Amino acid sequence: MEDKFITIKEVELNNNCPECYNNSGLHLTFKQKFVETKFYKSITNETTHQLECHKCNTSIYPVSWTEDIERVFNYHQKAFTPKTPSTKLKRSAWLLIIGILVLIIVALSLAIIPKL
């Protein structure tokens, strides 16, 4: 099973970085979990966010956020609408379902025919 996070929304913030104090390098990214297996692809409800400074190349964790960053984050989080959760069956899943149905039909017909 392969879990990925796909980027749904990326915003450049004009706030000061708590690490390097530059005000043009902060990027807030919202991501949503995407699961892919042999049988299906699925977008889940699980979302994450990440705040990075592209000037000093550091991840900014919520512990070091200023009130301004928190306020801007809350605004963008309210405006963020994740994709609706969905599941799509792959060809191998459909073949497995059809194969099982055929086996059930054959088993039922073999159980009925000897009685005739």
pLDDT digits (tens, 9 = 90+) for 26-79: 899 999 999 888 898 888 888 889 999 888 888 888 888 888 889 989 998 888
Residue 109, domain member (yes or no): no
Residue 96 pLDDT: 92
Give the mean pLDDT of 12-24: 84
* Rounded Cα–Cα distance for residues 18 and 3 (Å): 31
64 in any annotated domain: yes
Asked whether residue 22 is assigned to any structural domain, the reply reads: yes
Query: Does residue 58 sit within a domain?
Result: yes
Are the CB atoms for 13 and 23 separated by under 8 Å?
A: no
With 60 as the cut, is the pLDDT of residue 116 above it?
no
**Containing domain of residue 53, as a range?**
2-90
- Whole-number average pLDDT of the chain: 87
Residue 84 lies in a domain: yes
Number of domains the chain contains: 1
- In a domain? residue 72: yes
Whether residue 112 is contained in a domain is answered as no
Q: How far is CA 13 from CA 23, 28, 115, in A?
A: 8, 7, 76
Determine whether 80 is exposed, middle or buried from the number of CB atoms within 10 Å of its CB (0-12, 13-18, 19+).
Answer: middle
In the predicted structure, residue 7 carries a pLDDT above the cut 60: yes
